[in-house]
Structure 1
């Protein structure tokens, strides 16, 4: 076989086979990346839901604390006023 025949064989057979194998590898890599992205998105959505639930619980606790402080503050002010008005014995 001479060099021209080898070069012709590489062009006619080698390049299309290499392109086909490379294209198949790229398609597999792309499917893998899509699967990884889908899994990451699901994981991120789950974490966001967990954080939202946690924030909601914290906000409820803050509302309770605000209510305790506010209610106690008014009761304390009333108690101080009653003590001021009470006669000294």
Structure 2
């Protein structure tokens, strides 16, 4: 019984390690450090491209936030001001032009 459990545990560990190597995941050492860090040129280029895309998306998000702030300001501030201006125009005497 104990030997069956031990064989199943070792077999599971071997299969898990094989799958990690096959799919390019780094192996972990005893203290969690990467034993086999994958650093090839293709991966480094991909990281660089993703970093550039991330910077572009952050800039675009900042622009969208600024535009949204302007729309919110227009909607909240001008709504009240427009109503008060219309009411002021209604109260003007007939002979006075603005």
Normalising by structure 2, we get a TM-score of: 0.49
Aligned to 2:81: 79
Matches within 5 A, 1:49-64: 49-64=51-66
Residue 92 (structure 2) aligns with:
88
* Distance in 2 (alpha carbons) for counterparts of 1:73 and 1:82: 14
Q: How does 1:1-89 map to 2 (within 5 A)?
A: 38-86=40-88, 87-89=91-93
Partner Cα separation in structure 1 for residue 51 and residue 71 of structure 2: 30
Q: RMSD over aligned Cα, in angstroms?
A: 1.5
- Stretches of 4+ moved more than 4 A in 1? none
CA displacement 1:8-67 (0-9 Å, x = unmatched): xxxxxxxxxxxxxxxxxxxxxxxxxxxxx8111100000000011110110010000000
What's the TM-score, normalizing by structure 1? 0.54
Superposed displacement of residue 84, structure 1: 3.0
**Structure having greater relative contact order (Cα 8 Å, sep ≥ 6):** 2
Shift of 1:83: 1.9
Alignment length, in residue pairs? 53
Deviation for aligned residue 1:75: 1.8
Considering fraction of residues, name the structure with more helix.
1
Shift of 1:74: 1.4
Query: Mind listing any 5+ residue stretches in structure 2 that lack a counterpart?
Result: 1-38, 94-98
